[in-house]
Structure 1
């Protein structure tokens, strides 16, 4: 409303108001002496009002952005999540009669990639297992699984292969994500071991993206926290153990020696994956064939499922979670592709109904696209 009020102060509005105060027996037409004398000041005032509107909008959480948003959320003690680096587990095989060791800091490169990624050895786990850290920041380092090529000259290496993701990287938090987190912080005050506090503290830990919190799931004082990584996929057992030690260390549960309050016995888990198989009949526009559109359709459906997974950790006012794969949204995802004229007979896992995933204290589930059959 205030922004709209400032918006009316255009040049045309200001010069009209100024000229209204000039006697009518004086020439006020455009090009007249009085008009030309007043116009520059009105132009300048119009610019100032526009700048004032910008300053005003930057002061509200719903309309601010960038560094101004960063300064706004500091009022609630929040900071934008910065991008992090992916950590992977790599298994090495060594040549016979050579040292079973590689120097920390050794560099390795991915192969068969359009843009090769570099990984650095940062920690030794066992004789043949090392932790490698991606040199490229953000989620780009999460995906690669496979063979590596040594960049550092190492004569004792026979092969090097990344086998799993230890700690998923995150991209820098977007304005929209930070804004939503701020509003959640304001509306649900974290305090004294309530659900909001568990949600907040777990999201601050490396490798954790979204959280579901189930209080008193196995009696008074018990809490179950289900977590996914920053790309909304189940986490590894290593991440579960790490988070458990931060929240409520094993062997000494309930003593308040972690983040959890005294008396809280916390279970850390991760959701199971539900394979999603799609069948659909599609009608194409003239000049298109199914094989030409197959990859684009798969990507569009995957984008829809990723959008769903982003909502996995959002509960209602009674701390209930739900996630449903809708046939109508699958249809929309396919229709979004240029070349598709119509979609019918959509089935999910062989059934012509929506797929309702289990989201409760006993079972938590995430969808994963397995196969798309197009007829």
Structure 2
């Protein structure tokens, strides 16, 4: 459909020869050179026309142009959220002094790539040995959903008396919806028009809510006229997200439908494995990175999905510096029920 530079040039030379009688059209001639310049300009216009056609169709559009097409049908890109939770400050002996930890104090992973900020002033009292501190990631996305036990460091001025900092519980970080995810949700929405409260309707309505990554409707779960909708943000969702989904669906559901939005049941996945490091890589550093890679893989398994042992291996082997990964447990795939979500348990990686 679209013309290449060579096609355009040949058409120009043929037209020039037939309409003017000019015969010296060899490369290097004045006429050829002029036509070559014109052909390059026309090829630029053809290229732009090709891009316009791509941007018109949702299947090939991208970026803000894709957003505009989706917005026409009421489908909007879901923005990401930051991970929040607690980290634990510890020391081996009771502190001889009290310390005020200020809101905004920065923490980071040991490689410095992911930073967190303390979200409120905390007093570390005289004699303290272990204190939970609330934090929020400074980077939007699931990159902040660090595995329990991940070592952190204080950035900048040291906090007096603190010997160790580690993750206690961090969750809720959701990536901004990618072009592929937005496109898929748009196509599902228009190919499954609302039809009086079908299972597809409830899936569409749940996925419209900011922060929802996985959802599964369960029609007739509590008898005739009932629907349960299980939702997740990649982990066990907070009560606020469950309420937001419930409130949204209440504005959409058919009159008389008894709808209940629920959290998934937690299916703990324990992992036991050994890592062999490449030359020049510290096993202690790889241990943390492999645990994080496994945690990220598990967060991508949907409600009712399958935790594949090969997926765990691939996640671990994707970490730079890992030469080999010997997985002992789980030894086989784990099929989740339609109300279960995989969450990391004991990650024994040595």
- Pair in the same fold by TM > 0.5: yes
SS of the equivalent of 1:81 reads coil
Aligned equivalents of 1:32, 1:358: Cα separation in 2: 74
For the 8 Å contact 2:116–2:136, the answer to whether it is kept is no
What per-residue deviation string (whole Å, max 9, x for no partner) do you get for residues 14-57 of structure 1? 22232234269722122212212322221211111111111111
Aligned equivalents of 1:218, 1:212: Cα separation in 2: 15
1:347 correspondence with 2:341: no
Deviation of the 1:85 alpha carbon? 7.9
From 276, 299, 323, the counterpart of 2:269 = 276
Deviation of the 1:221 alpha carbon? 0.5
Aligned equivalents of 1:208, 1:343: Cα separation in 2: 32
SS of the equivalent of 1:39 reads helix
Map of 1:369 onto structure 2? 344
Deviation of the 1:74 alpha carbon? 2.9
What per-residue deviation string (whole Å, max 9, x for no partner) do you get for residues 113-150 of structure 1? 24564859xxxxxxxxxxx99897955898699xxxxx
SS of the equivalent of 1:193 reads coil
From 175, 178, 184, the counterpart of 2:179 = 175
SS of the equivalent of 2:103 reads strand
Aligned equivalents of 1:339, 1:372: Cα separation in 2: 19
- Return closer, same or farther for 1:208/1:372 CA change in 2, 3 Å cut-off: closer
Correspondences of 1:25-36 after superposition (within 5 Å): 26-36=23-33
Correspondences of 1:1-375 after superposition (within 5 Å): 5-6=1-2, 8-10=3-5, 12-21=6-15, 22=17, 26-82=23-79, 109-114=103-108, 115=115, 117=117, 138-139=140-141, 172-205=176-209, 208-229=212-233, 232-241=234-243, 243-244=245-246, 247=249, 259-288=252-281, 290-308=283-301, 311-312=302-303, 322-344=304-326, 346-349=327-330, 352-359=331-338, 364-374=339-349
SS of the equivalent of 2:72 reads helix
Map of 1:125 onto structure 2? none
Deviation of the 1:13 alpha carbon? 2.7
Map of 1:149 onto structure 2? none
Map of 1:123 onto structure 2? none
SS of the equivalent of 1:233 reads coil
Q: What runs of 5+ residues in structure 1 fail to find an aligned partner?
A: 90-107, 121-131, 146-162, 249-257, 313-321
Aligned equivalents of 2:145, 2:181: Cα separation in 1: 22
Aligned equivalents of 1:30, 1:215: Cα separation in 2: 72
Taking only aligned residues, the RMSD between alpha carbons, in angstroms, comes to 3.8
Aligned residue pairs, count: 294
Deviation of the 1:174 alpha carbon? 2.5
- Return closer, same or farther for 1:329/1:119 CA change in 2, 3 Å cut-off: closer
What per-residue deviation string (whole Å, max 9, x for no partner) do you get for residues 275-333 of structure 1? 2222234444445453342122222222222232xx43xxxxxxxxx311111122222
For the 8 Å contact 1:119–1:135, the answer to whether it is kept is no
- Return closer, same or farther for 1:13/1:179 CA change in 2, 3 Å cut-off: same
For the 8 Å contact 1:202–1:208, the answer to whether it is kept is yes
Deviation of the 1:191 alpha carbon? 2.2
Deviation of the 1:164 alpha carbon? 9.5
- Normalised by the length of structure 2, the TM-score is 0.70
Moved more, 274-283 or 217-226: 274-283
Aligned equivalents of 2:82, 2:271: Cα separation in 1: 34
- Normalised by the length of structure 1, the TM-score is 0.66
SS of the equivalent of 1:353 reads coil
SS of the equivalent of 2:107 reads coil
Aligned equivalents of 2:323, 2:143: Cα separation in 1: 37
Aligned equivalents of 1:338, 1:207: Cα separation in 2: 30
Deviation of the 1:234 alpha carbon? 1.6
